[in-house]
């Protein structure tokens, strides 16, 4: 059967669905997590770093010096760790995406059922209501005041009315009304298939941090070639004729130049960020969003769903004028019966007033939209009735308007039920409104809202409450949380002249339209802010899309979840501090460890050049630089990438890393080389050469360890252990006969060792001075010990967790 001829009230039969699946006419989309298991394995094994190390490892193995090839274990370790972490992240994303993605409703054999997005077939009849995204291209078959917003595709912000026979495109979403449509293009053929497929894509691109690391790696790759050539020339010039010794010298010079752990730690930190947030029911749709988290300095949040619970409860009715309460309740029941897609307010009203036994005949219907802030129904015999914001439907100075304002100022939500003079779909609607009753809804403030706002305040993140509700009501809720946010602003009073200034200076806004939300995000961005926008409704889609970081609630509409970079599946605003903290942890810690790896690259390069200029044999064996990398860089760097880091992210990653790494690397190289010059015995024995190398290595380790000591600041007890334990380990390696034989060391020459120690300490002092000087020049010096503000921020996070647990326990008990 031709899918165009499908009966929309019946839909496809089970047989037709099976036939279309067999024919491949199904909405097959790319994997939720973007990369397959094979791609993850391939991308972690066949890397530039592994290729460089692999070539050097093969050359060292040819010499027969197996111990000097210990660095080859890094190839295996890097690949295994990277694969495991990314597979864990993939599993987390896949499992969360199943929960967070849209489940379209299809009509088959006359029954409606929710299916996976990938199970939609050509010719299916899909049922849609406000906030739902169009998942495949199609043709409208039924429409009940249906309006489609195509702004995500066309940029046109005004919703477009749709009638049966009109085409609709995937990627658009329902602004108001209800209806059905027939799928005419599915899978890759759909207009915006990639938009919906990107809802949970595991991506490693478009990251300032990773772009900076890639630039560093590209430069290092090009430096390796001339340094290798220089080392070969230098060894030949000093009369080294043994090709094995030349290969070992080249490997010893080049291996430490390769920042083998930097890429691993970066990808691992991102993957662990995904996993950690996954434990908190937070779905990261795009991996670089974790980096964006760290840069956020303004969070725009709605009142409902963030400061208050999503669900509302019916409070009471206050009748106005000559109307009685039972008449108002009867009208509310009829309005609810006419609403095919009730929102949270209408659901609360239904719970409070019940359902109509007999329904009135509907002539015209106007669904609720955030732009109008009211809905209405024109009945054939009972007239025109509207329900919405009191300050929109009646004069704020009227008796009904004044009373509504008084109630709203206490933090309650107030709606006005009124009889309108015009047909609700008329251009002049609602016309003059005769107030009938005030509908008062109660909103419960989230238990963790106050601590969440306090956390953001302590971290220098500005929170702006942007709501469609009455401004006084929003202000009252904010004040109840102990937040002094100044006077709330009614967004209807904003003009083009004062819009940007008011948005940047004020904290609480009410009666905000969807277009104003979008403009507010733009105004904040133009002022230099990095903006996170939270939302759950169809009115939030455009602002979420334009924000630097869109955060959707899991119970929100499919459209908001599809455009957001992060989805809070448990709807908890209190998760956001952990989200921001995770971003800061990743960015701050990676920058910290990048200093270590770049320092190693710099001092290795300088050593190779100095050896050539002074016509000396290269002082180290590959095993020497391997153990140096283990304790002064590799293990400490991995551990430093894990703890919390509340430091606010800044741009200029590469410049800051170079600022410390280059001069610190030069100091380490100078300390090691000067020691080697002073203690080396020309034409000495092999034993004397080993002793000189050991002394030079000691100077290198002492000064390189002090780079670690500065990078690890501010100190905590475990960081002190991180610095002291490697020194203890080196003490064993340098003094025990067994380890000296394994690592080709000889510390028996006391004079040489004292020389190396003194020069190493001088190098450490110079690095300490460099750290203080850079801090004074840039005004970015970190404190020696963890500051009180950071401890308070961590305490605030713990309070939020306790409040969230109590709220969850209360919910479970109820």
The residues annotated with a catalytic role in the active site are: 302
Q: Is the peptide bond before 389 cis (omega within 30 degrees of 0)?
A: no
Instruction: In whole angstroms, give the CA distance from residue 723 to residue 705.
Output: 7
Instruction: In whole angstroms, give the CA distance from residue 593 to residue 639.
Output: 9
Cβ neighbours of 499 (radius 10 Å): 16
- Per-residue CA distances from 377 to 142, 145, 380, 439 (Å): 20, 12, 10, 17
Cβ neighbours of 743 (radius 10 Å): 19
Q: Is the peptide bond before 378 cis (omega within 30 degrees of 0)?
A: no
Rounded to the nearest 10 degrees, the angle between the axes of helix 243-254 and helix 48-63 is: 150
- The secondary structure of 444-496, three-state, reads CECCCHHHHHHHHHHCCCEEEEECCCCHHHHHHHHHHCCCCCCCCEEHHHCCC
Instruction: In whole angstroms, give the CA distance from residue 60 to residue 40.
Output: 29
Q: Which of 784, 650, 761 is nearest to 713 (CA)?
A: 784
Q: Are 424 and 386 in contact (CB under 8 A)?
A: yes
373: left (phi over 0), alpha (psi -120 to 50) or beta: left
Q: Which of 435, 318, 425, 443 is nearest to 387 (CA)?
A: 435
Lookup result for tokens 């939209």: 369
Q: Which of 138, 235, 231, 142 is nearest to 192 (CA)?
A: 138
Q: Which of 195, 372, 302, 374 is nearest to 520 (CA)?
A: 302
Instruction: In whole angstroms, give the CA distance from residue 414 to residue 438.
Output: 7
Q: Which of 296, 299, 344 is nearest to 466 (CA)?
A: 299
* Cα 248 from chain centroid (whole Å): 44
Q: Which of 622, 785, 659, 639 is nearest to 723 (CA)?
A: 639
Return the ∠ at Cα 590 (arms to 585 and 594), rounded to 5°. 160
Structure tokens at 456: 């953001």
Kindly tell me the sign of the dihedral angle through the C-alpha atoms of 423, 354, 414, 128.
negative
> Phi/psi of residue 192, each to 5°?
-125, 45
- Per-residue CA distances from 464 to 192, 234, 410, 443, 788 (Å): 33, 63, 20, 19, 26
Cβ neighbours of 322 (radius 10 Å): 7
> 3-state class of 426 per DSSP?
coil
Structure tokens at 109: 């054999």
Structure tokens at 494: 């904003």
Name every residue whose Cβ is closer than 8 Å to that of residue 102 and which is 6 or more positions away in sequence. 117, 132, 133, 135, 196, 199, 558, 561, 562
Instruction: In whole angstroms, give the CA distance from residue 632 to residue 626.
Output: 10
Lookup result for tokens 């009135």: 360
Alpha helices in 382-427 (DSSP H): 390-393, 399-408
Instruction: In whole angstroms, give the CA distance from residue 460 to residue 298.
Output: 9
578: left (phi over 0), alpha (psi -120 to 50) or beta: alpha
Burial class (CB in 10 A: 0-12, 13-18, 19+), 4: exposed
Q: Are 743 and 690 in contact (CB under 8 A)?
A: no
């Amino acid at each position: 059967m031709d899918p165009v001829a499908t009966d929309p009230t019946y839909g496809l039969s089970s047989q037709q669905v099976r036939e279309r699946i067999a024919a491949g006419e199904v909405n097959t989309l790319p994997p939720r997590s973007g990369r397959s298991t094979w791609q993850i394995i391939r991308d972690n094994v066949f890397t530039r770093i592994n290729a460089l190390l692999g070539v050097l490892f093969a050359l060292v193995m040819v010499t027969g010096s197996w111990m000097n090839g210990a660095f080859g274990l890094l190839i295996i370790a890097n690949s295994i760790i990277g694969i495991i972490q990314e597979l864990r992240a993939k599993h987390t994303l896949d499992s969360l995406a199943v929960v967070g993605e849209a489940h379209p409703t299809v009509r088959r054999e006359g029954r409606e059922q929710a299916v996976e997005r990938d199970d939609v077939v050509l010719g299916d009849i899909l049922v849609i209501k406000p906030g739902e995204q169009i998942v495949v291209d199609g043709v409208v078959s039924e429409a009940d005041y249906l309006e489609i917003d195509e702004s995500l595709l066309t940029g046109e912000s005004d919703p477009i009315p749709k009638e049966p026979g009109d085409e609709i495109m995937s990627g658009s979403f329902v602004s108001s009304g209800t209806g059905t449509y027939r799928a005419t293009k599915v899978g890759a053929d759909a207009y915006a298939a990639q938009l919906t497929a990107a809802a949970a894509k595991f991506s490693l691109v478009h990251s300032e941090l990773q772009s900076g690391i890639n630039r560093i790696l590209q430069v290092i790759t090009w430096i390796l070639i001339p340094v290798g050539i220089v080392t070969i020339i230098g060894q030949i010039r000093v009369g080294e004729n043994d090709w094995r010794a030349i290969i070992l010298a080249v490997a010893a010079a080049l291996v430490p130049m390769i920042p083998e752990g930097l890429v691993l730690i970066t990808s691992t930190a991102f993957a662990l960020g995904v996993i950690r947030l996954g434990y908190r029911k937070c779905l990261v749709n795009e991996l670089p969003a974790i980096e964006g988290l760290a840069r956020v300095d303004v969070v725009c949040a709605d009142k409902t769903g963030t400061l208050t619970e999503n669900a509302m409860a019916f409070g009471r009715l206050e009748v106005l004028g000559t109307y009685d309460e039972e008449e108002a309740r009867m009208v509310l029941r009829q309005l609810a019966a006419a609403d095919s897609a009730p929102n949270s307010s209408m659901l609360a009203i239904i719970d409070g007033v019940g359902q109509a036994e007999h329904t009135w005949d509907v002539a015209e219907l106007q669904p609720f939209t955030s732009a109008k802030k009211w809905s209405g129904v024109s009945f054939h015999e009972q007239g025109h009735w509207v329900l919405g914001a009191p300050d929109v439907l009646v004069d704020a100075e009227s008796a009904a308007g004044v009373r509504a304002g008084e109630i709203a100022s206490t933090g309650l939500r107030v709606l006005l039920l009124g009889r309108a003079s015009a047909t609700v779909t008329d251009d002049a609607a609602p016309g003059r409104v005769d107030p009938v009753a005030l509908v008062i809804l109660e909103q419960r403030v989230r238990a963790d809202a106050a601590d969440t706002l306090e956390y953001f305040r302590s971290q220098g993140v500005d929170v702006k409450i942007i709501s469609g509700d009455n401004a006084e009501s929003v202000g009252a809720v904010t004040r109840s949380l102990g937040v002094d946010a100044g006077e709330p602003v009614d967004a209807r009073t904003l003009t083009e002249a004062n819009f940007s200034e008011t948005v940047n200076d004020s904290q609480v806004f009410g009666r905000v339209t969807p277009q104003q939300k979008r403009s507010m995000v733009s105004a904040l961005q133009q002022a230099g802010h990095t903006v996170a926008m939270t939302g759950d409704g169809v009115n939030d889609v455009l602002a979420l899309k334009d924000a630097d970081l869109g955060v959707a609630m899991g119970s929100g509409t499919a459209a908001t979840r599809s455009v957001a970079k992060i989805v809070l599946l448990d709807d908890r605003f209190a998760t956001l501090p952990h989200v921001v903290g995770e971003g800061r942890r990743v960015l701050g810690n990676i920058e910290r460890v990048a200093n270590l790896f770049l320092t190693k690259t710099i001092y290795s390069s300088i050593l190779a050049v100095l050896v050539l200029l002074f016509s000396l044999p290269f002082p180290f064996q590959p095993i020497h630089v391997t153990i140096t990398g283990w304790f002064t860089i590799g293990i400490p760097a991995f551990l430093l990438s894990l703890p919390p880091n509340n430091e606010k992210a800044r741009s200029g990653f590469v410049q800051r890393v170079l600022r410390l790494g280059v001069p610190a690397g030069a100091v380490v190289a100078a300390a090691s080389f000067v020691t080697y010059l002073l203690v080396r015995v020309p034409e000495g024995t092999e034993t004397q050469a080993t002793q000189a190398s050991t002394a030079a290595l000691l100077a290198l380790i002492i000064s390189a360890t002090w780079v670690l000591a500065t990078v690890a600041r501010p100190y905590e007890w475990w960081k002190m252990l991180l610095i002291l334990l490697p020194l203890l380990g080196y003490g064993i390696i340098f003094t025990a006969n067994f380890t000296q034989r394994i690592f080709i060391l000889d510390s028996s020459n006391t004079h040489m060792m004292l020389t190396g120690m003194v020069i190493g300490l001088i190098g450490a002092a110079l690095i300490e001075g460099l750290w203080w000087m850079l801090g004074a020049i840039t005004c970015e010096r970190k404190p020696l010990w963890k500051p009180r503000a950071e401890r308070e921020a961590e305490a605030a996070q713990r309070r939020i967790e306790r409040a969230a647990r109590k709220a969850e326990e209360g919910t479970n008990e109820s």
